[in-house]
Amino acid sequence: MEIEKYNYQGDTNVGFYATVSNSYVIIPRQFEEKEYFPERTVRTRIAGTNLVGLFTAGNSNCLLLPESVKEREVEKIEESGINYHILDSIENALGNIILVNDRGAVISPELEEQKKEIAEALEVEVEIGEIGSIENPGVCGVVNSKGAVIHRDASTEEAEHVKEVLQLEDINIGTINMGSPYIGSGSVASDDFILVGHDTTGPEIGRLDRVTVERD
């Protein structure tokens, strides 16, 4: 497992600019491609912006795209062979409102009408939930197949709900980028690597390591 600090063009909110799964990475131009990225790494804008991680969410089965995605952007995804689905919703910041891995997804109440659509696309159980009483679970956590670190104000009940739906071995509360509770804005994770903003402290990285890294 690689854990690396990375800023995108000086911005510590690396989670807003990349979407990663165990089978693909979606990044904008000028985002440094790492040697540990999977073969299917696609450079594209989404909704005409570099905010790839803000506007998309996905797992190894499917990449969810917002209705605001441009035709040329869809073509780039198609050319890569990545399975994708354009979500029928007025909500565009999918990365903020969907916390997902290859086993489950916790979505915002704002997506209640799309719950079945999301479940069919991602091929996982989908449940509605809040983290820290915030209706945007995606920006409030980072997750892989083993574990998740979520908003420091998450209740025990919220944490257990996330752990159950995403079928995790471990979950903990924490921060990123020197105290930000919005873990998903400052980090991205797969089973093979984690990127965090440069302001992330040693203890913050240590918590991510303990929760998300498989031990022999």
The rounded mean pLDDT for the chain is 97
- What homologous superfamily does CATH list for 2-212? L-arginine/glycine Amidinotransferase; Chain A (3.75.10.10)
* 184 exposure class (CB count in 10 Å sphere: 0-12, 13-18, 19+): buried
pLDDT band at 214 (very low <50, low <70, confident <90, very high): confident
pLDDT band at 36 (very low <50, low <70, confident <90, very high): very high
Domain ranges in the chain are: 2-212
pLDDT at 54: 99
pLDDT of 215 above 90: no
Q: Which among 210, 196, 185, 148 has a CA at the least distance from the CA of 4? A: 196
Q: What is the mean pLDDT of residues 190-196?
A: 98
pLDDT tens digits along 154-189: 999 999 999 999 999 999 999 999 999 999 999 999
- pTM of the entire predicted model: 0.96
Cα–Cα distance measured from residue 26 to residue 62, given in angstroms and rounded to the nearest whole number: 12
